[in-house]
Structure 1
Amino acid sequence: MAIFALSDLHLSFNKPVSLYGINPEQDIDKPMDVFGWKQHYNLIRDHWLETVEPDDTVLIPGDISWAMKLEVARYDFDWISQLPGRKIMSPGNHCYYVQSRRKVRAALPPGMEWIDADYTIAEGKVIAATRGWTLPGDRFYDEENDRRIYERQVGRLQLALDMAEREQPGKEKIVMLHYPPVTSMAKESGFMELMKKFAVKLCVYGHLHGKAREDAIEGNVDGVELRLVACDAINFCPVKVWKD
């Protein structure tokens, strides 16, 4: 049993579809071909089937579906559910269908979980999550518009880690963020301070695509292993991030 990660699937099915035989002109509302992701769902499917076993866990930190409404996002959830492994998901900046954790969780097929400002247990590890936000000092940060959201998201990660520490003392911790916790321009953040405080071992994140991937920081940072797992950064293939 191992833990894999893959984020930013950016699916947009408009009806129930199987893993194979997808018609890109009839079954998809927002093709990613314009970004060079030609029929990327086929790549995800093939790599996933080659890599992930039924007993494995896959972390999916955000931007799973382009859907604006939950009833449409269900088509994307159902497609993912046909792939092997347990799936643990958390929100990204394009998850507009998210109105509440309760409603999203009620819409999920078996074998799929949604965490946000809380945690679950996988392979004996605490998996905690929140969306994250643009960091102070980053190239796209605007103090007037971003400060409140950034601080709220830091607070949501603290809620998750406080709860995990109280209820699961001593367990190793993994954090899922959509936004990076540090970048080449913002090398400190409240997210990193919390992860160091709670001795988080691993943080997986997405959000950075194309040229923006140059801002990514990966590897061990003050004891926290950082991994960028956006689809296009890892060849649309779930990457193994943990195995005992």
Structure 2
Amino acid sequence: MDRRVAIYAISDLHLSFNRSVHIDQIDPEKDIVKPMDIFGWDERYYDRVRDNWRKLISDQDTVLIPGDISWALKQKEALYDLNWISQLPGHKVLSPGNHEYYYHSKNKIRNILPANMEWLDADFAVVEEKVICATRGWTLPTDRSFDEEDDRKIYNRQVGRLQMSLESAVSYHPNKEIIVMLHYPPVNKSGETSGFWELVKQYNVKYCIYGHLHGKAILDAVEGEVDGIPLKLVSCDALDFSPFRIWS
């Protein structure tokens, strides 16, 4: 029986290789600059990601990676991490998080991406007859850390960027189902809506994924069906370092 192609998701890989490495030949003493033990992760958590990824994913599958991909400060440094991901099976669709310090231009990052990757930010891609819409998102006005002076403009801009992505998607592909990938959560436990979530509902999105939350913050994540729309936290440690299948 033929295996059906699938769409998986995992975010917040937080890679930090400082040179080109083969995915099976990593020396943590010289190949990793920034360990992730600050989050309580295993020293070689990336091996767990690699092994789980290989067990689940074929070259015909797609993996969505919504942000915090690399700790790199410069694009040439990020390329080491992107190349590590490129050695794993499947087609990868990436979008930015709050730690993508190396990312300044879609054209520049797209020019260096390996062949089996694409980068989305306020736009969309068609994958397995689904439309993937993506932007970073931002801290919600209902979050305790939201600062009206510092955050409001960025929040409004990011809501607008999600709308731009969705509007373009339905204009070009009005009959395809939509998956939204954000880095920041589009809802929280306050019970109040957000500009992001109102757009998810307005455009009849079929699935929404997000990352950003780690450690104890995972306990506050809103998941499951919200207003009839499946919502899933896909940060690395929330998934026990294993990509999650969202469609097949």
Category of TM-score, reference length = shorter chain: over 0.9
Partners of 1:175 and 1:15 lie apart in 2 by: 33
User: Structure 2: where are the runs of 5+ without partners?
Assistant: none
Q: Name 1:10's counterpart in structure 2.
A: 14
1:240 to 236, 242, 245: 245
Query: Match of 1:26, SS?
Result: helix
Identity of aligned residues (%): 60
Question: Do 1:136 and 1:186's aligned partners in 2 also have CA atoms closer than 8 Å?
Answer: no
Whole-angstrom CA distance in 1 between matches of 2:51 and 2:230: 27
SS of residue in 1 equivalent to 2:78:
helix
Q: Does 1:193 align with 2:194?
A: no
Shift of 1:223: 2.4
SS at match of 1:67: coil
Q: Give the aligned residue type for 1:220.
A: E
Question: Does the 8 Å contact 2:185/2:210 carry over to 1?
Answer: yes
Shift of residue 185, structure 1, vs aligned partner? 2.6
Question: Shift of the alpha carbon at 1:186?
Answer: 5.7
Give the 4+ runs in structure 1 shifted more than 4 A.
Answer: none
Question: What is the CA–CA distance in structure 2 between the aligned matches of 1:238 and 1:10, rounded to whole Å?
Answer: 15
- For residue 37 of structure 2, the aligned residue among 33, 36, 52 is 33
Alignment equivalent of 2:130, drawn from 125, 129, 138: 125
Partner of 2:54: 49
The secondary structure found in structure 2 opposite 1:160 is: helix
* Superposed displacement of residue 53, structure 1: 1.0
Moved more, 118-127 or 135-144: 135-144
Structure 1: segments with no counterpart, 5+ residues: none
User: How far apart in 2 are the matches of 1:3 and 1:179?
Assistant: 20
1:35-184 matched pairs, under 5 angstroms: 35-38=39-42, 39-184=44-189
Q: Is the 8 A contact 2:70 2:78 kept in 1?
A: yes
- Alignment-mate amino acid for residue 12 of structure 1: S
* Deviation string, structure 1 residues 136-179 (Cα, Å, up to 9, x no partner): 11121111111000000000000000000111111100000000
Residue 28 of structure 1 and its aligned partner are, at CA, apart by: 1.0
In 2, Cα distance between equivalents of 1:61 and 1:213: 16
Aligned partner of 2:229: which letter? V
CA–CA distance in structure 1, aligned partners of residues 113 and 172 of structure 2: 25
Deviation per residue, 1:221-241 (Å, 9 max, x gap): 112210000000011000101
Cα distance in structure 1, aligned partners of 2:218 and 2:88: 27
CA distance in structure 1 between the aligned counterparts of 2:196 and 2:40, rounded to whole angstroms = 32
CA distance in 2, matches of 1:161, 1:127: 9
RMSD of aligned alpha carbons: 0.8
Alignment: residue pair count: 243
SS of the residue 2:28 aligns to: coil
